[in-house]
């Protein structure tokens, strides 16, 4: 199907350029490539003896320090038709592909740098080609049982559904615009994603140019920037938050994350940037700042003035959602 | 009911989440679904620890916490009740106002009370409050609880049944103080207490009278017994030497025991324990209904502290229906309506049993005469 092949290639190119490049992912090896299954009996591959990779991305995982290869399955469909698509079987095919990719010499020869420690993950990228996204997809996804997706031990898959595609595309564009000549941060800025060490978990890197797959699926993404200002480098953060901001509690909770991991310190500007914010979100955010200050100040080893100043440095900003156009045709699930 | 309450100004970090998942025995299936909500598919062959760690590495939003809370907050199974009765001297006209005063005091304490008139002479006070439990893992230290206090006039008596929780007990103490007495008479209160009973056989008799004295039921089996042989020390009761001697006597003896099985009251082991001076502190029994329904019901009764024997707790645990061939089905949790009437039966049987052991026996009467 040469037409579909071309469309997949074009969609992969656009998705790479407009989303994943910004998050530090690089596509490697051939696109839309079939390679041999190494678990034919287990994967019931008597007829089709291969797995396919529409595109393979590589990044250095800030959590583990290993190279991660993401074998991706790119889909495009029209709004309202996702329920007709066999999401479970698509996921099962992908999880089997990931299981083999971690063992297959052919896959490794095509895509992997043998000199570095590595691991293969899977990504199902599903895009609504007629604009927007619909909620049917989330329901279809929740209905998939672990036995149906059949993810092998130590492997994992990420599903970037239509809403997430729109969200990540908007975030990526926002980062690029902010770094543009007329952007908020300007071209001299240095931006990195920030991974504060946790109580029991130490990451390989706490700052990285990479936002890994798990981070792209989690509720907020912390981007730290450093820009020279009158010879002194100034640090600040963009927190991209995927919530709706419809309650004071959700903002209070996010504020404690910022204080707990010492992101909110003196003289550091933090912008909470939201794509899906409800109209009341700015007012609720201000209320949350007040509530949190009351809760935080008595237990923190800082003066009320410091708390007030830190809070004044945290702002709420909305980011206009963009509708991406990666493909204009149906690239159905197999 | 008790609920896991997360404070919005406290972010759950990886350790908190890990502790929470362990403390609440959250199933791997739930963790897989939790990950799936975000679009992350983990392996169902992974261990629970691996799943928890996989989820803890990325931030968790308030929305995620709400999903966790919903999974954790299931109906509390501890439904034991307590009882007190105002047997005389109550100015019944003053009861509604007394309840209102107690309600206002609770509101002032930032609790959420709801007062409902449930019948001509019946009221229900439900109170929601947050209890701090500092000994628990950090995310579970704030627990939302609900206790219920039911007040019912029965003839010239006021029955108060309430949740077996220390806070409910305190509310009832305040309510009893607030309820006015009639001008000509002082209020009289009674509770089920065996504190003053120091004869093990008398304590045993209380329980056997109670389980055999349930109106409309015949005792079928005793399946769980907590026995003890210790009694509370009374002030000025004994000098140091005699306390020391008593303690020495107890060395090498089983102080208390829990027996589980069938027909426990007839078991050889229990008979031996009873003969050795052990008394019953808690009991679970099954009784068969004699009326038209002919249900089989599992009851519980006992004292919070079997030695002090002051806080009497009782419960109706499960119920089984009888099929056409006369066999009982599986014991299952029962409906609310059934529960209330059955609880009243246990309560009534307990007070009757108490009267019987309080009353001097004929033999004793003869001796004193």
- The band of A332, judged by pLDDT with boundaries at 50, 70 and 90, is low
Average pLDDT, rounded, for chain B: 85
Cβ separation of A158 and B41 shorter than 8 Å? yes
Is 90 exceeded by the pLDDT of residue A79? Answer: no
Q: Which residue of B has its CA nearest to A125?
A: B39
Chain B 303-342, CB below 8 Å of chain A: which residues?
none
DSSP at A239: E
* Percentage of residues in chain A having pLDDT higher than 70: 88
Q: Which helix (H) or strand (E) holds B34?
A: helix B28-37
CA distance B325 to B297: 18
This complex has an ipTM of: 0.92
Which has the higher per-residue pLDDT, A292 or A77?
A292
* Percentage of residues in chain A having pLDDT higher than 90: 60
Cβ separation of B13 and A142 shorter than 8 Å? no
- The band of B254, judged by pLDDT with boundaries at 50, 70 and 90, is low
- The band of B4, judged by pLDDT with boundaries at 50, 70 and 90, is low
- What phi and psi values does residue A229 have, to the nearest 5 degrees? -140, 110
* A164 vs B8, B39, B58: nearest CB: B39
Q: What is the pLDDT of residue B310?
A: 92
3-state DSSP assignment of residue A241: strand
Q: What is the pLDDT of residue B62?
A: 92
CA distance A226 to A188: 9
Which has the higher per-residue pLDDT, B253 or A267?
A267
Chain B 17-56, CB below 8 Å of chain A: which residues?
18, 29, 32-33, 36-46, 53-54, 56
pTM of this structure = 0.66
What residues form DSSP beta bridges with A69?
A58, A120
* Percentage of residues in chain B having pLDDT higher than 90: 49
Q: What is the pLDDT of residue A89?
A: 86
What residues form DSSP beta bridges with A208?
A193
Place of tokens 């000549």: A181
- Chain A residues touching residue B29 (CB < 8 angstroms): 146
CA–CA–CA angle B190, B193, B195 (5° rounding): 130
- Chain A residues touching residue B33 (CB < 8 angstroms): 142
Q: B217 vs A123, B211, B291, B295, B337, CA distance in Å?
A: 64, 9, 8, 9, 18
CA distance A238 to A205: 19
Q: Which residues contact A38 (CB under 8 A, 6 or more apart)?
A: A100, A103, A104, A105
Q: What is the pLDDT of residue A137?
A: 73
Are A91 and A157 spatial neighbours (Cβ–Cβ below 8 Å)?
Answer: yes
- The band of B143, judged by pLDDT with boundaries at 50, 70 and 90, is confident
- The band of B326, judged by pLDDT with boundaries at 50, 70 and 90, is confident
| Of A193-202, A209-218, A293-302, the least confident | A293-302
Q: Which residue of B has its CA nearest to A145?
A: B33
CA distance A329 to A77: 7
CA distance B2 to B8: 18
CA distance B173 to B84: 10
| CA quadruple B57, A170, A72, A103: dihedral sign | negative
Q: What is the pLDDT of residue B325?
A: 81
CA distance B129 to B345: 29
As given in the structure block, the two tokens for residue A176 are: 């690029």
As given in the structure block, the two tokens for residue A329 are: 């045709």
Find the mean pLDDT for residues A321-330: 64
Cβ separation of A220 and B59 shorter than 8 Å? yes
Rg for chain A (alpha carbons), in Å? 22
| Of A227-231, B11-15, B223-227, the least confident | A227-231
Q: What is the pLDDT of residue A145?
A: 85
CA distance B1 to B38: 30
- The band of A133, judged by pLDDT with boundaries at 50, 70 and 90, is low
Give the residue among A225, A120, A212, A227 at the shortest CA–CA distance from A168: A212
Q: What is the pLDDT of residues B79-90, one digit of tens each?
A: 899 999 999 999
CA distance A128 to A323: 10
Is B61 at the interface with chain A, CB within 8 A?
yes
| CA quadruple A123, A124, A127, A133: dihedral sign | negative
Find the mean pLDDT for residues B26-30: 86
Q: Give the minimum alpha-carbon distance from A292 to chain B in angstroms, rounded to a whole number.
A: 6
Q: What is the pLDDT of residues A17-47, one digit of tens each?
A: 789 999 999 999 999 899 999 988 888 756 6
Which has the higher per-residue pLDDT, B26 or B135?
B26
Structural domain boundaries of chain A?
Answer: 3-161, 168-318
**Helical H runs in chain A?**
2-15, 87-101, 105-111, 136-142, 146-149, 162-178, 213-217, 248-260, 281-296, 304-312
Cβ separation of B15 and A199 shorter than 8 Å? yes
Is 90 exceeded by the pLDDT of residue B283? Answer: yes
Query: Would you tell me how many other CB atoms lie within 10 Å of the CB of residue B173?
Result: 11
Q: What is the pLDDT of residues A257-268, one digit of tens each?
A: 999 999 998 889
Strands B188-190 and A26-28: unpaired
Cβ separation of B59 and A219 shorter than 8 Å? yes
Greatest CA separation found in chain B?
85
Which has the higher per-residue pLDDT, A2 or A197?
A197
Cβ separation of A201 and B56 shorter than 8 Å? yes
Average pLDDT, rounded, for chain A: 87
Q: Write the DSSP string, A115-146.
A: TS-EEEEEEEEEEETTSS--THHHHHHHT--H
Pick the CATH number of A3-161 from 3.30.450, 3.40.1360, 3.40.390, 3.40.1350: 3.40.1350
Q: What is the pLDDT of residues B129-142, one digit of tens each?
A: 888 776 666 666 67
Q: What is the pLDDT of residue B192?
A: 95
What residues form DSSP beta bridges with A220?
A241
CA–CA–CA angle A62, A63, A65 (5° rounding): 60
Q: What is the pLDDT of residue B362?
A: 42
Q: At what angle do helices B14-23 and B48-56 cross, to 10 degrees?
A: 150
Q: What is the pLDDT of residue A35?
A: 95
Find the mean pLDDT for residues B317-325: 86
CA distance A65 to B145: 46
Interface A–B counts its CB contacts (< 8 A) at: 117
- The band of B71, judged by pLDDT with boundaries at 50, 70 and 90, is confident
Q: What is the pLDDT of residues B161-200, one digit of tens each?
A: 999 999 999 999 999 999 999 988 889 999 999 999 999 9
- The band of B368, judged by pLDDT with boundaries at 50, 70 and 90, is very low
Q: What is the pLDDT of residue B136?
A: 63
* A253 vs B33, B43, B62: nearest CB: B62
Is 50 exceeded by the pLDDT of residue B366? Answer: no
CA distance A57 to A74: 12
Find the mean pLDDT for residues B232-236: 66
- The band of A331, judged by pLDDT with boundaries at 50, 70 and 90, is low
Q: What is the pLDDT of residue A2?
A: 53
Buried b (16+ CB within 10 A) or exposed e, B28-45: bebbbbbbbebbbbbbbe
Is 50 exceeded by the pLDDT of residue B364? Answer: no
Q: What is the pLDDT of residue B264?
A: 78
Q: Give the minimum alpha-carbon distance from B52 to chain A in angstroms, rounded to a whole number.
A: 12
Is 80 exceeded by the pLDDT of residue A103? Answer: yes
- The band of A143, judged by pLDDT with boundaries at 50, 70 and 90, is confident
- The band of B363, judged by pLDDT with boundaries at 50, 70 and 90, is very low
Q: Which residues contact B77 (CB under 8 A, 6 or more apart)?
A: none
Q: Which residue of A has its CA nearest to B61?
A: A219
Cβ separation of A218 and B38 shorter than 8 Å? yes
What residues form DSSP beta bridges with A314?
A270
């Amino acid at each position: 199907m040469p037409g579909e092949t071309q469309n997949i290639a074009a969609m992969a190119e656009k998705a790479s350029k407009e989303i994943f490049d910004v998050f530090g992912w690089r596509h490697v090896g051939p696109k839309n490539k079939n390679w041999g299954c190494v678990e034919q009996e287990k994967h019931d591959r008597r007829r089709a003896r291969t797995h396919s990779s529409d595109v393979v991305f590589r990044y250095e995982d800030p959590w583990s320090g290993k190279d991660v290869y993401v074998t991706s399955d790119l889909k495009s469909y029209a709004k309202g038709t996702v329920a007709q698509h066999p999401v479970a079987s698509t996921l099962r095919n992908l999880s089997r592909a990931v299981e083999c990719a971690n063992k297959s010499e052919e896959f490794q020869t095509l895509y992997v740098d043998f000199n570095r420690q590595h691991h293969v993950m899977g990504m199902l990228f599903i895009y609504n080609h007629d604009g927007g996204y619909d909620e049917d997809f989330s329901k279809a996804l929740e209905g998939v049982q672990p036995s149906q997706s059949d993810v092998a031990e130590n492997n994992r898959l990420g599903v970037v559904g239509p809403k997430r595609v729109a969200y990540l595309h908007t975030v990526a564009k926002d980062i690029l615009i902010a770094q543009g000549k007329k952007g908020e941060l300007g071209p001299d800025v240095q931006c990195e994603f920030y991974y504060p060490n946790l109580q029991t978990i130490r990451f390989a890197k706490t700052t990285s140019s990479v936002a890994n797959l798990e981070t792209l699926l989690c509720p907020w993404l912390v981007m730290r920037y450093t820009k020279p200002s009158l010879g002194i480098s100034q640090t600040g953060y963009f927190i991209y938050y995927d919530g709706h901001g419809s309650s004071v509690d959700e903002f209070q909770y996010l504020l404690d994350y910022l204080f707990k991991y010492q992101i909110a310190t003196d003289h550091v500007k933090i912008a909470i940037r939201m794509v899906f914010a409800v109209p009341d979100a700015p007012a609720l955010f201000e209320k949350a700042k007040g509530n949190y200050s009351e809760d935080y100040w008595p237990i923190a080893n800082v003066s009320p003035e410091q708390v007030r100043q830190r809070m004044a440095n945290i702002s709420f900003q909305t980011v206009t959602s963009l509708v991406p156009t990666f493909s204009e045709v149906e690239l159905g699930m197999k | 009911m008790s609920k896991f309450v997360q404070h919005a100004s406290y972010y759950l970090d990886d350790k908190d989440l890990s502790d929470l998942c362990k403390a609440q025995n959250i199933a791997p299936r739930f963790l897989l679904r939790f990950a799936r909500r975000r679009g992350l598919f983990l392996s169902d062959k992974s261990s629970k620890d691996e799943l928890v760690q996989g989820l803890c590495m990325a931030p968790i939003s308030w929305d995620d916490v709400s999903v966790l809370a919903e999974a954790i907050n299931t109906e509390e199974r501890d439904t034991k009740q307590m009882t007190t009765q105002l047997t005389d001297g109550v100015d019944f006209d003053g009861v509604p106002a007394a309840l209102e005063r107690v309600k206002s005091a609770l509101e002032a304490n930032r609790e959420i009370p709801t007062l409902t008139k449930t019948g001509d002479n019946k009221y229900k006070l439900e109170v929601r409050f947050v209890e701090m439990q500092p000994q628990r893992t950090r995310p579970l230290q704030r627990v939302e609880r609900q206790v219920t206090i039911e007040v019912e006039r029965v003839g010239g008596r006021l029955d108060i049944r309430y949740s077996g929780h220390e806070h409910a007990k305190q509310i009832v103490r305040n309510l009893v103080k607030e309820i006015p007495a009639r001008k000509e008479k002082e209020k009289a209160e009674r509770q089920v207490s065996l504190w003053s009973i120091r004869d093990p056989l008398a304590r045993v008799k209380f329980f056997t009278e109670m389980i055999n004295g349930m109106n409309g039921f015949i005792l079928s089996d005793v399946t769980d017994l907590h026995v003890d042989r210790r009694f509370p020390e009374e002030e000025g009761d004994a000098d140091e030497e005699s306390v020391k001697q008593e303690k020495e006597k107890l060395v090498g003896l089983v102080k208390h025991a829990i027996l589980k099985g069938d027909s426990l009251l007839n078991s050889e082991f229990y008979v031996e324990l009873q003969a050795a001076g052990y008394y019953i502190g808690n009991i679970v029994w099954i009784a068969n209904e004699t009326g038209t329904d002919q249900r089989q019901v599992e009851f519980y009764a006992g004292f919070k502290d079997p030695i002090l024997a002051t806080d009497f707790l009782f419960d109706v645990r499960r119920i089984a229906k009888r099929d056409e061939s006369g066999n009982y089905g599986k014991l299952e949790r029962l409906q609310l309506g059934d529960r209330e009437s059955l609880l009243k039966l246990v309560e009534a049987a307990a007070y009757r049993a108490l009267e019987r052991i309080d009353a001097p026996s004929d033999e004793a009467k003869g001796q004193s005469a």
